[in-house]
Amino acid sequence: MIDEIFEAPMPATFPPLFTGEAVSGSTDPFARACAHAMIGCDAGLLVHSVTPDRIRAAIVFAPETPLEQAMIALIACGVGFQNGMGALAPPEVSVHFGWQGEIYVNGGRAGRLRVAASTADPEAEPDWLVVGLEVDLLPQGDGETGESPNDTCLMMEGCGDVSPIRLLEAWSRHTLVWLNDVEHDGPRALHEQWRGIAKGIGEEITLTLAETPTGKFVGTFVGIDEQFGLLLKVGAETRLFPLSRCLETGDEK
């Protein structure tokens, strides 16, 4: 029924330095962007897909810094999305982010950011880095049966009138603004913006990292360091988890 009333989205208009590539709903924009990056493509390629129930998109970056510094693109994309939502959604709608890229709208999880790069070495300069965005427009699966009470979507949070294409455009514009700001003035302003929308600072959180024996760390989210690494207090010890730990492996893609 939804597919019958869904109209094909109008073409998106992205800012200079971004080149859009629309793909069908069966194609994962994140995987496609990574594939483009692996064989060589210009930075700024923005692969996107808008279906009746979800926005998915990914941007290809060509960093000129070591990976740990280049990971700031993930933060810029997160703050850029929050700014875009702030411009288009009703004023009572709040957007926050988990350190690993989870997107929360009015406290419920409504999507995620994800990131991959050509290397996992924090000190190496990657050939490419891709940041992906996924946002649920409608409930996913049996989203209203109570099986996933912490999940939500834009429609359920009063954002049904927000145009997915306009949101994609706003995301790209605000992300570019933050990338330019960091390039010219450093990350201080971005750091302050991200702290204001980070979910769970001062609270107990569960950090999921596949390479650990149990896959999880539980502790108090103390804050972030100058490179957006997570400071987690576990017992009497405070541990630093660099942002590069959020990189996806090939299996996860």
What is the pLDDT at residue 149? 77
Exposed, middle or buried: residue 60 (CB in 10 Å: 0-12, 13-18, 19+)?
buried
What is the pLDDT at residue 12? 84
What is the pLDDT averaged over residues 46-68?
A: 96
**How many C-beta atoms lie closer than 10 Å to residue 209's C-beta?**
13
Is the pLDDT confidence value at 43 over 50? yes
Is the pLDDT confidence value at 132 over 50? yes
Residue 123 corresponds to which tokens in the numbers above? Answer: 């000190």
What is the pLDDT at residue 36? 97
**Does 2-197 match 204-246 in CATH topology?**
no
- Residue-level length of the chain: 253
Query: The whole model's pTM is what?
Result: 0.91
Going from N- to C-terminal start, the domains of the chain cover 2-197, 204-246
Question: How sure is the predictor about 213, in pLDDT bands with cuts at 50, 70 and 90?
Answer: low
What is the pLDDT at residue 9? 53
Query: Is 204-246 in CATH node 2.30.30?
Result: yes
Task: State how far the Cα of 68 lies from the Cα of 98, in Å rounded to an integer.
Answer: 18
Is the pLDDT confidence value at 220 over 50? yes
What's the pLDDT tens digit per position in 78-128?
A: 999 999 999 999 999 999 999 999 999 999 999 999 999 999 999 999 999
User: How far is Cα of residue 26 from the mean position of the Cα atoms in its chain?
Assistant: 20
**Taking a C-beta distance cutoff of 8 angstroms, is the pair 116, 131 a contact?**
no
% of the chain at pLDDT higher than 70: 89
Query: Is 2-197 in CATH node 3.30.930.10?
Result: yes
Q: Which residues contact 39 (CB under 8 A, 6 or more apart)?
A: none
